Structure 1
Amino acid sequence: MAPSAFQHTVQGPAVFAGVGVHTGAHTRVTVRAAAPDTGIVFIRTDVTDRDNRLRPTGEAVCRTQLGTVIENAAGVTLSTIEHLMAALVMLGVDNAQVEIDGPEMPIMDGSSLPFVQVLDRAGRRAQSAPRRYIEILERVEVRDGDKRASLAPADSFETAFEIAFDSAAIGRQRVDLKMDEAAFRKELANCRTFGFLHEVEALRAIGLARGGSMDNAVVIEGDRILNPEGLRRPDEFVRHKTLDAIGDLFVLGGPVIGRFEGVLAGHGMNNALVRALLARPNAWRWRSLVLDVAEAV
């Protein structure tokens, strides 16, 4: 599927609701159309005493423990945006106003598939402005011990990820994919988040995982998968980490033309990579496919 040369927004409102995996708060979300060049804007409708608009940028990411949290200058936060962000960028939704009445995006089933489905029902509408891509010109890499993440030049968007866990339920997994909308739908969208049973109580003690269950995560105990239905794919774990990375990269403000590689990485490394790229303006550029066509003519 060829990348689009023009921006898109949703055709009609996309409405859904659910529980936040960490806060346990039930929230309702409405994704509405937005004008060209707006980008993605989150609006906390439950906040009325200060600025309630949040833009997902690299600098706005304030926490990355088990999810991506953004914050605005007024101190308003929104948690766990990455699964919706992945669906938006891979379905080609450049501009949208996302209204939410609570502090955390619903986890739904733990994957991006429910977001894909509601966006499909809402439909998409082409806009007159050219889509702007982030084209990677030079390799940028961040490391933390044996963890690393990088972006490198490529002709299209490519993703590679590798994970390793002591649990035999996961082990070492690697996936390497050329990524477009069709590939995202087929290879990644339905892959769920995961966690270990022994970590749940510790997480709840610090205010996390309060809404987590086997309805919205793959739960592992020792070497066993506890979910009665099992896995959706044998390597669902590494595919979900790839999905997370795609959502985390969209805080750059546009889809990427380049190759992402992650090894044992998570949300923190993904954001460190975003910030490292933004700190090296010669390593990337904005690119419009409309201008490419005009130049070819």
Structure 2
Amino acid sequence: MKFGRQTTLRAQATVTGVGVHTATPVSLTIGPAPVDAGFIFVRSGTDGRDREVHAKADAVVATQLATVLGDRNGPVVSTAEHVLAALRGMGIDNAMIEIDGPEVPIMDGSAAAFVSAIDQAGIVSQSASRRFIQVLKPVQVAMGDSFGELRPYASGFRAEIEINFTNPQIGRQIYALDLSPETFRREVSRARTFGCMSDVARLWSAGFSLGASFENTVVFDETRLLNPEGLRFADECARHKVLDAIGDLALAGLPLLGAYRSVRGGHKLNHAVLTSLLADRSAWRVVEAETARRVRSHAELGSGMVGGMVAPAFGPDVS
């Protein structure tokens, strides 16, 4: 694969499961997309007409417990964050995501099934240079006791996530990750979504978590972990929040060059920080990867950028 080139999938791969909130059976297929397409969801309709939505920040229509993308006619696809995290985490730039239901399947609660689908489909480089959004100055958002920030970072993309739950079985956890396909696969792709038994009745009455089970959710009560198989990581909850953040920030439309810090955050805060960055045209610029021939003469980016180099492509006043 050529350094600094955009990537897409070689072929299609399909996963099937149920939605964690709707409990609706759904089939999702990831496949190739053209240069500069980004991530595009195509939802098949019962009336034979498809609905298409580009996975970008301005397509977000809800952030309560999941990231929901839609258009002027309403929601198109819910719980988009895990498949988006897998695509961005594995270094994919362009992909079509076809889905026949209202919600991305939860699978085992992590991004592992989507990583496996990417492995099955294969990754190919494309003819155009990869582009990035480079953070030029800090952008911060505070929401009550939650805080989020995007700041400049010289070595690719980094996520620093702190959670602090009153449930003593979760408590305070901190996890940081410098993103590359290798670290994503090894450190966070298998981290599962989680919840507390004390919240179940409230969520069900509000129409959420109808498809949740011990097969797709890590569940705690006040005294213990209820999943008989145990945790995959001692800090699995914090790692899953990193996974969510990678997926939510994929809605920038291009890979980010910057560091994201979140304290007591979630989908709503992730989206607010990203939209605040994009709204401030002095806070970012688009940069373009140069060809591998020039790697030796420039400062190297982190491995998450597939070894590419960056040079300004156009200023922040052009979207």
State the shift of 1:101 in Å.
0.4
Structure 2 unaligned regions, length at least 5 = 299-319
Distance 2:92 2:46 in 1: 26
Question: In the TM superposition, what whole-angstrom CA distance separates every residue of 1:18-67 from its partner, at most 9, and x where no partner exists?
Answer: 00000000001111211111111101112547660011111111111111
Question: In the TM superposition, what whole-angstrom CA distance separates every residue of 1:88-122 from its partner, at most 9, and x where no partner exists?
Answer: 01111111111100000000000011110111011
Task: Provide the residue aligned with 2:141 in structure 1.
Answer: 142
Task: Provide the residue aligned with 1:195 in structure 2.
Answer: 195
Distance 2:2 2:112 in 1: 21
Where 2:57 maps in the other structure, the secondary structure is: coil
Q: Does 1:31 align with 2:30?
A: yes
Distance 2:272 2:189 in 1: 24
**How does 1:124-163 map onto structure 2 within 5 Å?**
124-155=123-154, 156-163=156-163
Where 1:59 maps in the other structure, the secondary structure is: helix
Change (3 A) 1:40 1:162: same
Amino acid at match of 1:148: F
Question: In the TM superposition, what whole-angstrom CA distance separates every residue of 1:151-170 from its partner, at most 9, and x where no partner exists?
Answer: 10011211101011122211
State the shift of 1:175 in Å.
1.1
Where 1:134 maps in the other structure, the secondary structure is: strand
Distance 1:148 1:117 in 2: 33
Task: Provide the residue aligned with 2:250 in structure 1.
Answer: 250
Where 1:203 maps in the other structure, the secondary structure is: helix
Where 2:208 maps in the other structure, the secondary structure is: coil
Task: Provide the residue aligned with 2:261 in structure 1.
Answer: 261
State the shift of 1:256 in Å.
1.0
Amino acid at match of 2:199: E
Change (3 A) 1:263 1:4: farther
Distance 2:103 2:137 in 1: 35
Whether the aligned pair in 1 keeps the contact of 2:2 and 2:125 (CA below 8 Å) is no
Amino acid at match of 1:128: S
Amino acid at match of 2:37: T
Q: Does 1:272 align with 2:281?
A: no
Distance 1:158 1:31 in 2: 26
Where 1:282 maps in the other structure, the secondary structure is: coil
Task: Provide the residue aligned with 2:211 in structure 1.
Answer: 211
Task: Provide the residue aligned with 1:236 in structure 2.
Answer: 236
Distance 1:237 1:79 in 2: 21
Task: Provide the residue aligned with 2:317 in structure 1.
Answer: none
Whether the aligned pair in 1 keeps the contact of 2:88 and 2:247 (CA below 8 Å) is yes
CA RMSD, 1 decimal: 1.9
Distance 1:117 1:240 in 2: 18
Q: Structure 1 length as normaliser, TM-score?
A: 0.95
State the shift of 1:238 in Å.
0.5
Tell me the percent identity: 42
**How does 1:1-297 map onto structure 2 within 5 Å?**
4-48=3-47, 52-155=51-154, 156-290=156-290, 296=297
State the shift of 1:223 in Å.
2.7
State the shift of 1:255 in Å.
1.1
State the shift of 1:291 in Å.
6.8
Distance 1:231 1:30 in 2: 29
Change (3 A) 1:48 1:5: farther
Whether the aligned pair in 2 keeps the contact of 1:29 and 1:98 (CA below 8 Å) is yes
State the shift of 1:74 in Å.
2.7
Distance 2:271 2:113 in 1: 25
Distance 2:100 2:232 in 1: 31
Where 1:142 maps in the other structure, the secondary structure is: strand
Distance 1:48 1:6 in 2: 39
Question: In the TM superposition, what whole-angstrom CA distance separates every residue of 1:147-203 from its partner, at most 9, and x where no partner exists?
Answer: 011110011211101011122211111012222111111111100000111211211
Question: In the TM superposition, what whole-angstrom CA distance separates every residue of 1:113-150 from its partner, at most 9, and x where no partner exists?
Answer: 11101110110111011111111100001001220111
Whether the aligned pair in 2 keeps the contact of 1:3 and 1:180 (CA below 8 Å) is no
Distance 1:50 1:142 in 2: 39
Distance 2:222 2:291 in 1: 54
Question: In the TM superposition, what whole-angstrom CA distance separates every residue of 1:237-272 from its partner, at most 9, and x where no partner exists?
Answer: 001001100100000001111111000000000000
Number of residue pairs matched?
Answer: 296
State the shift of 1:3 in Å.
10
Q: Structure 2 length as normaliser, TM-score?
A: 0.89
Distance 1:259 1:54 in 2: 27
